[in-house]
Chain A
Amino acid sequence: KAGVTQTPRYLIKTRGQQVTLSCSPISGHRSVSWYQQTPGQGLQFLFEYFSETQRNKGNFPGRFSGRQFSNSRSEMNVSTLELGDSALYLCASSQESGGEQYFGPGTRLTVT
């Protein structure tokens, strides 16, 4: 089976812009979770989608949003980018909510 894929792998944006990141889970996995990883804050949970419904949400401002499509692919969107949004954004999929997660390689976002 193909692993979790994330596109793009690298992204450079300017403050105030918005960005959309994409994640394709492992075939058959219905749960997709998103994380932000920074040197200072570590791995922080953004949200989880299961069968197109947001099941859990972390403590991030409303500028961070996501969605999941019927084929389980997921996107996350960050509007009005701030310098502090520079991070590695990781997507993970699992067969069931709370089960072992399989991570993609991440999208490295740099905001200038």
Chain B
Amino acid sequence: AQSVTQLGSHVSVSEGALVLLRCNYSSSVPPYLFWYVQYPNQGLQLLLKYTSAATLVKGINGFEAEFKKSETSFHLTKPSAHMSDAAEYFCAVSKASGTYKYIFGTGTRLKVLA
């Protein structure tokens, strides 16, 4: 069975500091992995996706994530946080064997301090 674990339901960083949001997955087959961002009172927006091509994936708004099979991780990073990055971030996995099922993590709320 697939699952996604996001470590830290709340993360605070100073403006200009490194952003690191952690995601670990379990999947019986090579997964598709995604990061989404949700701003207040809005739907989710795709930040980036991994679909078994390059292990380092670049997304929108300066975010990137690295797929590490040995660690079953797909952590999201951004070198320098902006105030506008404050939002909730969700990691998701899909591509179970047989049928595709999308599983979301519980989310990490990012706070950016001035």
B-contacting residues of A (Cβ < 8 Å)? 4, 33, 35, 42-43, 45, 48, 55-56, 90, 92, 97-106
Contacts and interface: CB of A to CB of B under 8 A. Distances in A.
Contact of A100 (B49, B99, B103, B106): B49
B69 interface: no
B94 interface: yes
Given A43-B107, A55-B99, A90 B43 contact: yes
Nearest to A90: B43
Contact of A56 (B42, B46, B99): B99
A5 to B, nearest CB: 10
B32 A98 contact: yes
Interface residues of B, number: 21
B83 to A, nearest CB: 23
B90 to A, nearest CB: 7
Interface of B: 32, 34, 36, 41-46, 49, 90, 94-95, 99-104, 106-107
Contacts of B36: 103
- Most chain A CB atoms below 10 A, which of B43, B46, B95, B107: B43
